[in-house]
Amino acid sequence: MSEGSSGSSTYVCVVTGASRGIGQAAAAELARRGATVVTLGRDAGSTIRCDLSSLTSIRSAAAEIRERWPRIQLLVNNAGVQHVRRKVSADGIEATLAVNHLAPFLLTHLLLPALRAGVPARVVTVSSSLARWGRIDLDDLQSARRYNGTRAYLQSKLANIMFTASLAERLAGTGVTAVCVYPGLVATDLLRERWWWRARWLRPLWRALFLSPNDAGRAVADSATATLPSEGYCLTLGGRPVRTPRAARDGAARQRLWDASARLVGVDL
C-alpha cells in the first residue's frame, strides 16, 4: 500500500474531501485494501493541495495528477459543504453549487484522459438520499434571488445524481463507469453550522440516528467495485440499488443542467 506516491500502481484512487469524515474513512479503507490513494483538499495533509471552490485550483490540481499518475482507476467525488448563509467563491459562484456540483463536474472532465488510460475505471460521486426533495432551478441555479441553505444543498445533491447519469451515458462502452452512492445519514462536519447539531443535550440522539463516518466510508470504498446498478439507480450501504429521483431520469433536464454547468466552469463538452 502507498498513499500519494508517484509512479505506477495497479490501482490508483483520487479522493476529494479526504481530510475528515466520509472522505477520510474512504481513503483509509481504500489504502488498507492496497490502493495508491491521492487525496485532494485544502489542508496540509492532502497529497495535493486544492481549493475545490476555485476553478483555477481544480485545474492546477488536475494537471498535477495527470502528470504524476497518468493512469487512474478510481475517482471519488466526495467533498461537500452546506452553508446556512449564502457564500460566494473566488469565481463569483455560490459556494454550495461550486464545491458540491461544479467541482466534481470539472474535475471529472479534466481527469477523464487518465481514467480512460486506466480502464477498467470508475467515477464514484457521493450524493444523498435527501436529493429526492431537491429541485434544479436553472433560472436561479446559484440561489441569488432567494437563498436557503438546505434548498441549495438538496439542489446540489440532485445535481450530483443527474451529472452521474449523464456521465454514465456518455462513457458507455469506454471502460469507465460512473455511479452515485448514498452513504446514509452520517455524522459529519457538514452539520457544524446548525445549532441543533452543536447542542450537547441532543448528541445522544444524533449518535443513535446517524452512521459514523467510518461506516459510510466503507460503503463508498465498496462502491468502487460493486456491481453497477441498472440505469436510473444509485447504490446505498451494502451495494443495494435504489431508484433515483424522477428529475434525474429526465434526459432533457439532465442535458440542460449539463450545458449550464459547462458554461459556468468554462469547458466545451
Helix axis angle for 55-68 and 103-117, nearest 10°, is 10
Active-site residue set = 153
In angstroms, the Cα distances linking 125 to 1, 88, 120, 197 are 23, 23, 17, 25
Q: Taking Cα atoms as reference points, which of 30, 34, 25, 33 lies closest to residue 14? A: 30
Is residue 5 domain-resident?
Answer: no
Is residue 7 domain-resident?
Answer: no
Is residue 1 domain-resident?
Answer: no
Residue 227 per-residue DSSP state: P
What is the CA angle 243-249-255, rounded to 5? 145
How many other CB atoms are found less than 10 A from the CB of residue 68? 16
pLDDT per residue rounded down to tens, the chain (269 residues):
345 554 445 899 999 999 888 889 999 999 999 999 999 998 888 999 999 999 999 999 999 999 999 999 999 999 999 898 999 999 999 999 999 999 999 999 999 999 999 999 999 999 988 888 999 999 999 999 999 999 999 999 999 999 999 999 999 999 999 999 987 665 555 445 444 444 554 555 555 456 677 787 888 898 888 888 888 788 876 678 889 999 899 999 999 999 999 999 998 76
**What is the rounded distance in angstroms from the CA atom of residue 92 to the CA atom of residue 115?**
30
Say how many domains are in the chain: 1
Is residue 40 domain-resident?
Answer: yes
Q: Output phi, psi for 99, to 5 deg.
A: -80, -45
Is residue 204 domain-resident?
Answer: yes
Q: Output phi, psi for 186, to 5 deg.
A: -125, 140
C-alpha cell at 221: 470504498
Is residue 202 domain-resident?
Answer: yes
Residue 245 per-residue DSSP state: P
Is residue 154 domain-resident?
Answer: yes
Gyration radius of the chain over CA positions = 17
**pTM as predicted:** 0.88
CATH number at residue 203: 3.40.50.720
**What is the rounded distance in angstroms from the CA atom of residue 208 to the CA atom of residue 205?**
5
Beta bridge partners of 234: 242
Domain housing 240: 12-263
